């Protein structure tokens, strides 16, 4: 078990305002040498001293009140992860600041996230920042079994490729052939019965080569990690059949320990991917206990693209991801945009959809009416409406996706009496759970069919 004494604070991502920590509490628990007459100054020093790490994790510290009534709260953005905080008084490590996934309902906070990443088969990996080691050590490291899972899935593809390399072997011939190993020949030459046996070097193409032996070594590390107690049971069970297949294929291969898998220009594409992933596992032990973060906004965008790709296949639509709408004017200020980039465009005969995914907390704050929420939503809405102007069809909709704990859908209809033009926007809540995918697809397809019918009427 991890000691709570090592945790400064733990909050979920997309937190607008965390619990407030009073200055007196912080002075008693973390800043015992702080002058209680100047608590606000002490807390401001603490915030400034750890600013780089707070910025790295996308956390905004906020001081409220003054004197002995001062308090500290935090806003978190799109990242999850852990940073190690220090006291400004002596630079001593005081505790870890944790931002965890928001949606999880599982005991293991990472298991649902791992299931999503496996669906995407995308390069979404933790970023690390050099810092003093985390006090929580391995308990709050990013899930190493995720990297192991990626390696095993790539290896399953790689073994189906006929990857062979030239290997130099030595074989005895009764005549001189290719390059002769004279040193070995001299050792036996005194024996008349062996004088006409020549040890020659042969270059043969073989799958039994050193680089595959090194890959088997990494496979053993990955397999042990997936089968370890750190990996959820349901994740382990999914890979037992794959392990049986790979163990059988690699049975005759030896293991060769290595610190790095080297790349070659001649390597097939899947082997290059496999080696790249293998090096992440080999280097993982150097990075697993430093400050780290993972971009959940990118994960959410890729997940929404995955969901709508499944939907487009079912309704017979064409999908474009991250399609660039370029600017062609020659004059441009340095701050102007070279292109617009909607996350998803779906086209089906005379019906078009533009989908934009925003990793923001709006649906978790349905009853709040703060100006900050309104302003952020206004930006999202204006951006989506701008994207829809580039579609030709008169029957079109915009879909604005926010993360939520369950599926949610609301129609936002806007109409201009002056131009007699209207716009339909679907505000959609996307649950980040694999188990809810089919229900979500059904909800979206039913609403798309309804809008298609209305457009033909």
Domains, the chain = 4-107 (no CATH), 146-163+208-287 (no CATH), 165-206 (no CATH), 295-456 (3.40.1350)
Please state, for a pLDDT cut of 70, what percent of the chain lies above it: 83
Query: pLDDT-derived band of residue 454, with 50, 70 and 90 as boundaries?
Result: confident
| Contact residues for 282 (Cβ-Cβ < 8 A; gap 6+) | 218, 221, 258, 259, 260, 261
Looking at the predicted structure, is the pLDDT value of residue 176 above 80? no
Looking at the predicted structure, is the pLDDT value of residue 292 above 70? yes
Looking at the predicted structure, is the pLDDT value of residue 456 above 90? no
Q: Give the model's pLDDT for residue 87.
A: 85
Query: pLDDT-derived band of residue 56, with 50, 70 and 90 as boundaries?
Result: very high
Q: Give the model's pLDDT for residue 330.
A: 64
Listed as own residue / partner, the contacts of 26-35 with beta carbons closer than 8 Å and 24 or more positions apart are: 26/72, 30/87, 30/94, 30/95, 31/87, 31/89, 33/89, 33/90, 34/89
Q: Give the model's pLDDT for residue 304.
A: 92
Looking at the predicted structure, is the pLDDT value of residue 435 above 70? yes
Q: Give the model's pLDDT for residue 1.
A: 41
pTM of the model: 0.70
Region 310-326 average pLDDT: 82
**How far apart are alpha carbons 240 and 230 in whole angstroms?**
16
Q: Give the model's pLDDT for residue 55.
A: 94
Q: Give the model's pLDDT for residue 373.
A: 85
Residue 43: strand, helix, or coil: helix
8 A C-beta contact, residue 75 and residue 15: yes
| Contact residues for 338 (Cβ-Cβ < 8 A; gap 6+) | 326, 327, 332
| H/E segment holding residue 76 | strand 71-76
Query: pLDDT-derived band of residue 287, with 50, 70 and 90 as boundaries?
Result: very low
Region 75-89 average pLDDT: 87
Q: What angle do CA 211, 203, 189 make, to 5 degrees?
A: 120
pLDDT, the chain, mean: 80
Q: Give the model's pLDDT for residue 197.
A: 83
Region 39-53 average pLDDT: 90
**How far apart are alpha carbons 6 and 276 in whole angstroms?**
34
Looking at the predicted structure, is the pLDDT value of residue 2 above 60? no
Region 286-303 average pLDDT: 79
Q: Give the model's pLDDT for residue 107.
A: 55
pLDDT tens string 112-156: 777 777 777 665 677 878 777 787 765 556 666 777 888 888 888
Angle, helices 111-120 vs 296-315, to 10°: value is: 50
Looking at the predicted structure, is the pLDDT value of residue 457 above 60? no
């Amino acid at each position: 078990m991890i000691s709570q004494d090592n945790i400064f604070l733990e909050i979920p991502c997309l937190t607008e305002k965390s619990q407030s920590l009073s200055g007196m509490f912080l002075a008693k628990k973390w800043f015992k040498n702080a002058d209680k007459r100047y608590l606000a100054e002490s807390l401001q020093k603490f915030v400034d001293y750890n600013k780089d790490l707070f910025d790295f994790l996308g956390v905004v510290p906020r001081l409220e009140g003054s004197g002995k009534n001062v308090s500290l709260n935090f806003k978190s953005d799109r990242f999850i992860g852990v940073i190690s905080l220090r006291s400004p008084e002596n630079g001593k490590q005081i505790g870890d600041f944790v931002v965890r996934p928001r949606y999880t309902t599982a005991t293991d906070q990472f298991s649902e996230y791992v299931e999503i990443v496996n669906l995407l088969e995308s390069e979404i990996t933790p970023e690390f920042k050099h810092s003093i080691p985390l006090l929580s050590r391995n308990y709050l490291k990013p899930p190493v079994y995720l990297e192991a899972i990626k390696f095993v899935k790539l290896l399953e593809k790689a073994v189906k490729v006929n990857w062979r390399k030239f290997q130099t072997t030595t074989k005895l011939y009764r005549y001189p052939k290719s390059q002769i190993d004279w040193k070995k020949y001299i050792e036996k030459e005194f024996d008349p019965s062996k004088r006409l046996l020549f040890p020659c070097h042969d270059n043969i193409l073989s799958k039994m080569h050193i680089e595959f032996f090194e890959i088997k070594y990494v496979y053993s590390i990955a397999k042990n990690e997936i089968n370890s107690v750190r990996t959820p049971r349901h994740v382990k069970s999914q890979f037992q059949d794959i392990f049986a297949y790979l163990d059988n294929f690699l049975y005759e291969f030896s293991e060769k320990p290595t610190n790095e898998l080297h790349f070659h220009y001649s390597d097939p594409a899947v082997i290059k991917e496999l080696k790249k992933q293998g090096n992440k596992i080999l280097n993982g032990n150097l990075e697993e206990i430093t400050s780290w973060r993972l971009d959940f906004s990118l994960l959410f965008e890729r997940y929404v693209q995955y969901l709508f790709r499944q939907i487009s296949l079912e309704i017979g639509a064409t999908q474009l991801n991250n399609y660039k709408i370029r600017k062609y004017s020659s004059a441009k200020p340095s701050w102007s945009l070279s292109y617009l980039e909607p996350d998803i465009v779906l086209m089906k005969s005379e019906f078009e959809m533009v989908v934009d995914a925003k990793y923001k907390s709006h649906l978790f704050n349905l009853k709040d009416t703060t100006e900050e929420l309104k302003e952020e939503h206004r930006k999202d809405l204006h951006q989506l409406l701008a994207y829809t102007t580039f579609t030709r069809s008169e029957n079109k909709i915009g879909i604005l996706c926010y993360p939520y704990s369950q599926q949610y859908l609301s129609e936002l209809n806007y109409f201009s009496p002056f131009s007699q033009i209207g716009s339909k926007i679907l505000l959609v809540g996307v649950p980040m759970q694999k188990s809810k995918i089919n229900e979500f697809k059904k909800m979206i397809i039913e609403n798309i069919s309804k809008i298609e019918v209305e457009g033909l009427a």
